[in-house]
Structure 1
Amino acid sequence: MSVYERELKEILSGNREIIERIIKNLDEERKEIYKKIIEYPFITVRAAGSLGIADIVAVRGDISLLIEIKARKEKEILFSHEKGRMQRKAEEMLEKCEKSKVLPIFAFRLKGIRDEAWKIFTIEMKDIEKKDKKIYEKLPKIEISKDGNYIMRWENGMKLSEFISLLNSL
């Protein structure tokens, strides 16, 4: 498990030590949002290896999320790189999520910044139900290039604190 997979897993599972470390440079409002996940955490499980369809499964009440984690120094991820492996994996994740009615989440961690480093996205999909639909409608979608490949631009994502606030409002 990468350090970034572990970091997000621990944030969502309400690990106070990790949360305190990552919020030290944030304003008071965002600190309070992060602290609320300590009170109402997710059960988080790491998916086995890179052969799974996502890195983390997070469950809380009637919210289930499949989370694929990407960490880069660059602010843009082209899924067509790596001989299209990322594109194929995202398409497989979308297909499985549509069949099982689970919301796919893409978490993009920008390396080397002191402010909030995580941004959250989802992918265009159909047949979303209940609470997932409310989350889906508010989340930014991964872009699709003219060639049909996914592009994730960090600046277009939802801050993790906003995502946590959204989840806590349901």
Structure 2
Amino acid sequence: MNGSVYERELASILSGDPGSVERYSRRVAQDTQQAVTGLIQRPFYVVRAAGSLGADLVAVRDDYTLIIEVKSSASRRLSFSEASYKRQEQAERLVERCSRAGLFLTYAFRLKNAREDPWRLFSLGSVRPGRMALLKALIPEVEQTRSGNYHLVWEHGVPLSVVIDYVNHGTV
């Protein structure tokens, strides 16, 4: 499957589509299922961004704004140095743009064929103090190799359901 399938999947979950939220909630830990289904009542407004040089999704609600780059892989590790360093350059460009707006970049890593919650989130960049800084503290930073290249390790990310629980209830 190509990446746009997963972009659409995440967009439909965050935008509170009842069918997508119900399907996703069956895959998450029982203690976060209620928070996930809460997206039906309190969804994000999600826009899929056009073009390959910007972020994939922008999710906005009255209290949070997420700039999201979606990545998917059958492997539990995704290196940004692959594909002629284009992922690395894109990340640096997006972080700079987000930082100027007082936001951080969120990577949503979808593990293909995962049995449990397939989505893990990572953050990149700095953010001003406030509500967004508290959210960023919950989401682990994108890791770097010794040579400075970014990489995602699926197990090191925070499950999407935990982030949804936080934004809906303010607790972890």
Q: 2: distance between equivalents of 1:26 and 1:139?
A: 17
Q: Match of 2:144?
A: 144
Shift in Å, 1:63: 1.4
Amino acid at match of 2:41: E
Amino acid at match of 2:107: F
Distance 1:96 1:30, change over 3 A: same
Structure 2 residues not aligned, in runs of 5+: none
CA contact (8 A) 1:101 1:129 kept: no
Shift in Å, 1:27: 4.2
SS of alignment partner, residue 82 of structure 1 = coil
Deviating 4+ runs (over 4 angstroms): none
2:76 matches 1:72: no
Q: Match of 1:46?
A: 48
From 14, 22, 25, give the equivalent of 1:23.
25
Amino acid at match of 2:52: S
Shift in Å, 1:144: 1.0
Q: Match of 1:95?
A: 96
Q: Match of 1:14?
A: 16
Structure 1 residues not aligned, in runs of 5+: none
Q: 2: distance between equivalents of 1:31 and 1:85?
A: 36
CA contact (8 A) 2:55 2:69 kept: yes
Shift in Å, 1:68: 0.2
Q: TM-score, normalised by structure 1?
A: 0.93
Shift in Å, 1:30: 2.5
Amino acid at match of 1:85: K
Residue deviations 1:24-63 (CA, integer Å, cap 9, x gap): 2444323212101111100000000213x20000100031
CA contact (8 A) 1:30 1:161 kept: yes
Amino acid at match of 2:13: I
Residue deviations 1:134-168 (CA, integer Å, cap 9, x gap): 01112111111111110110000000110101111
Distance 1:37 1:86, change over 3 A: same
Distance 1:25 1:68, change over 3 A: closer
Q: 2: distance between equivalents of 1:163 and 1:26?
A: 12
Q: TM-score, normalised by structure 2?
A: 0.92
SS of alignment partner, residue 122 of structure 1 = strand
Q: 2: distance between equivalents of 1:115 and 1:145?
A: 27
Q: 2: distance between equivalents of 1:128 and 1:73?
A: 35
CA contact (8 A) 1:64 1:103 kept: no
Q: Match of 2:165?
A: 165
Shift in Å, 1:169: 2.7
Aligned length: 168
Percent of pairs with identical residues: 36
Q: 2: distance between equivalents of 1:25 and 1:12?
A: 15
Amino acid at match of 2:68: I
Q: Match of 1:120?
A: 121
SS of alignment partner, residue 75 of structure 2 = coil
CA contact (8 A) 1:103 1:128 kept: no
Q: Match of 1:110?
A: 111
